[in-house]
């Protein structure tokens, strides 16, 4: 048998936080539960390449009572609605962690040069649940010498945030220098850029501070030695706010107050009374496994809670929640924060992602977490093509002691070139660098 390569073209949204509930026999949709919360959630799909003609499909499901779980597995077909040559496979093995059960199955002897579609399913208390999203993988012997980039469907779309996903294939002779997304409010004007931190085969970036019920357009790109490759354009619309829904804005401290208190501002009140409120937080964006309740309001429209046990110089994710008297849970968007223990004698700052990157310029950005006790004399950025030798300097004219500061590069950058930069300030005691280095590639 001719050896084949399985390119993981996962043109689907992972982390699908909802599922379709259907009748087991007729496969027709059932009405939602009275409490508007499913008893089971299908949460994740992925494909793992194992060898020439073998893949392993995996999925997660969450249920509070596994005794009602009858079986789980995957349905697989050759088109998007999985009706042609449809086959059903019961999962071969599983592992449980808390309320989450991950199940998997192995497929082999797959057809060469064939695209397959698959969906996870679970049968629970005589009802069948499918993931909303469909996964795709391809078995092919094609050698991708030139990189190809795809824009994938956005995921985790909330009222004010969404996660963009992109994919690049092959590029066996192509060096990938950067990746990310161009986006904006108009299909004809994608005037904003966000870079992905890790340019793996499947890369992603999270957008925050978006407008409610607004359509955004975006396309993925990769930066290579030969230039920037673009993919097709897609769009998504942020969730609308129901007139009876609670709406919250999460407020994360910028200055690492002691104690460290998360706050949430209630921007719209729901119809039912609040029975519980607080925050979820953790080290992984998709696993906020620590809950802290809020018992005392900060003022009429704001509540907060103190976090404890945070580790120094570590990234965390958090989101606020409200549960009303009907048991319905309302969540804010997820935000990240960096916790740095107070050392108020000296400045504490961080380098942020750039904005308005063009072929010959960029706006460099940083944020002051703590200004320290001494007067700041200068503020700016060190920049260069070598991350260990940032040999050029861009100074900030309007020094900021709190919040974000920025400066546009004052000399002409090379086009299609990767630059590294790091924020800094100087005081009477010397120079203090940002706790991280960022990078970007000019167009």
Token duo for residue 168: 């690049």
Tens digit of pLDDT for each residue in 155-186?
888 888 899 988 876 554 567 778 899 999 98
What DSSP line would sit under 382-402, residue for residue? EEESBTTB--EEEE-SS--SS
**Which of 333, 331, 324 lies closest to 270 in space, CA to CA?**
324
Q: Picking from 134-143, 197-206, 314-323, 414-423, which range would have the lowest pLDDT averaged per residue?
A: 134-143
Cis-peptide, bond into residue 402, ω within 30° of zero: no
Does residue 326 register a pLDDT over 70?
yes
386-394 mean pLDDT:
87
CA distance 140 to 53: 9
Residue 135 DSSP code: E
Closest CA to 249 of 261, 263, 264: 264
* DSSP β-ladder status, 192-195 and 176-184: antiparallel
Kindly state the average pLDDT of the residues 131-158.
70
CB 387 within 8 A of CB 420: yes
Compute the average pLDDT of residues 128-156.
70
pLDDT tens-digit profile of 99-113?
667 777 777 777 776
Query: Both tokens of residue 412?
Result: 């002409």
pLDDT of residue 210: 87
Q: Is a pLDDT exceeding 50 seen at residue 142?
A: no
Tokens at residue 244, please? 């009876």
Query: Percentage of residues in the chain with pLDDT exceeding 90?
Result: 21
More confident residue, 15 or 39: 39
Q: How many CB atoms lie within 10 A of CB 82?
A: 20
Query: What is the pTM for the complete model shown?
Result: 0.46
Integer angstrom CA distances of residue 392 from 60, 283, 355, 413, 431:
48, 35, 19, 11, 16
At residue 38, the pLDDT reads 44
Strand duo 378-384 + 202-207: pairing: unpaired
CA distance linking residue 426 with residue 432, whole number of Å: 6
The half-sphere exposure of 273 on its side-chain side, counting CA atoms within 13 A, is 2
* Res 7 pLDDT > 70: no
Average pLDDT score over residue span 21-28: 34
Categorize the per-residue pLDDT at 93 as very low, low, confident or very high, splitting at 50, 70 and 90. Answer: low
% of the chain beyond a pLDDT of 70 = 76
Q: Is the pLDDT of residue 320 over 90?
A: yes
Which residues make Cβ contacts (< 8 Å) with residue 190, sequence separation at least 6?
Answer: 182, 183, 184, 217, 218, 219, 233
Residue 413 has pLDDT above 60, yes or no: yes
Is the sign of the CA dihedral 269, 272, 278, 284 positive or negative? negative
How confident is the model at residue 28, as a pLDDT? 33
Least confident of 37-46, 234-243, 259-268: 37-46
Q: By C-alpha distance, which of 383, 381, 411 is closest to 395? A: 381
Winning range, highest mean pLDDT, from 325-339, 355-369, 397-411: 355-369
133 pLDDT band, cuts 50/70/90, is: low
User: How confident is the model over 221-236, as pLDDT tens digits?
Assistant: 988 777 788 888 999 9
Q: pLDDT digit string (tens) for 60-92?
A: 777 666 677 778 888 888 876 665 557 888 876
Please give the structure tokens belonging to residue 280: 């979820």
Between 123 and 57, where is the model more confident? 123
* Residue 359: how many other CB atoms lie within 10 Å: 14
What pLDDT does 420 receive?
94
Angle at 238 between CA 335 and CA 323, to 5 degrees: 60
Letter string b/e over residues 293-330, b meaning 16 or more CB atoms within 10 A of that residue's CB:
ebeeeeeeeebbbebeeeeeeeebbbbbbbbbeeebeb
Distance, CA of 89 to CA of 394 (rounded, Å): 59
What pLDDT was estimated at residue 410?
79
Top pLDDT among 320 and 52 is at 320
Residue 342 pLDDT greater than 60, yes or no: no
3-state secondary structure of 125: coil
pLDDT value for 140: 54
Query: In the prediction, which pLDDT does 191 show?
Result: 83
pLDDT at 36: 29
Residue 202 has pLDDT above 60, yes or no: yes
pLDDT on residue 335: 85
**Helix, strand, or coil (residue 68):** helix
Highest mean pLDDT among 48-62, 77-91, 406-420: 406-420
What is the predicted pLDDT for the residue at 13? 32
**C-alpha atoms less than 13 angstroms from C-alpha of 68 in its C-beta half-sphere:** 12
Choose the weakest-confidence range: 11-25, 140-154, 204-218, 262-276.
Answer: 11-25
């Amino acid at each position: 048998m001719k050896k084949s390569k399985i390119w993981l073209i996962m043109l689907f949204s992972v982390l699908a936080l909802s599922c379709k509930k259907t009748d087991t026999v007729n496969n027709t949709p059932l009405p939602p539960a009275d409490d508007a919360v499913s008893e089971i959630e299908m949460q994740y799909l992925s494909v793992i390449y194992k060898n020439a003609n073998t893949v392993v499909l995996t999925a997660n499901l969450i249920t509070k009572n596994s005794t009602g779980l009858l079986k789980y597995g995957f349905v697989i077909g050759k088109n998007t609605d999985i009706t042609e040559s449809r086959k059903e496979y019961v999962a071969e093995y599983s592992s449980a962690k808390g309320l989450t059960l991950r199940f998997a199955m192995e497929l082999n002897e797959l057809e060469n040069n064939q695209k397959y579609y698959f969906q996870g399913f679970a049968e629970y208390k005589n009802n069948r649940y499918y993931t909303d999203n469909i996964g795709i993988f391809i078995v092919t012997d094609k050698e991708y010498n030139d990189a190809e980039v795809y824009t994938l469907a956005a995921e985790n779309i909330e009222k004010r945030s969404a996660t963009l996903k992109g994919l690049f294939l092959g590029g066996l002779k192509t060096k990938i220098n950067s990746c990310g997304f161009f986006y904006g409010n108009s299909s004809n004007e994608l005037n904003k850029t966000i870079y992905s931190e890790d340019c793996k085969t499947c890369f992603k970036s999270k957008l925050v501070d978006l407008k409610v019920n607004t359509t955004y357009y975006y396309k993925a790109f990769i930066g290579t030695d030969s230039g920037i490759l673009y993919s097709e354009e897609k769009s998504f619309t942020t969730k609308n706010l129901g007139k009876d829904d609670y709406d919250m804005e999460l407020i994360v401290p910028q200055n690492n107050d002691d104690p460290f208190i998360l706050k949430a501002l209630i921007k719209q009140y729901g119809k039912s009374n609040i029975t519980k409120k607080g925050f979820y937080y953790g080290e992984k964006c998709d696993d906020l496994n620590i809950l802290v309740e809020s018992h005392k309001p900060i003022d009429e429209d704001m509540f907060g809670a103190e976090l404890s046990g945070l580790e120094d110089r570590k990234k965390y994710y958090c989101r606020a929640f409200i549960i009303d008297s009907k048991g319905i849970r309302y969540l804010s968007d997820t935000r990240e924060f960096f916790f740095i223990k107070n050392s108020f004698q000296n400045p504490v700052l961080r380098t942020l992602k750039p904005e308005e990157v063009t072929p010959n310029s960029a706006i460099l950005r940083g944020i002051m977490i703590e200004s320290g006790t001494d007067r700041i004399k200068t503020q700016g950025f060190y920049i260069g093509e070598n991350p260990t030798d940032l040999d050029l300097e861009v100074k900030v004219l309007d020094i900021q002691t709190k919040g974000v500061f920025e400066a546009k590069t004052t000399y002409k950058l090379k086009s299609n070139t990767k630059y590294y930069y790091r924020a800094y300030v100087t005081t009477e005691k010397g120079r203090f660098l940002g706790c991280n280095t960022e990078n970007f590639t000019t167009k």
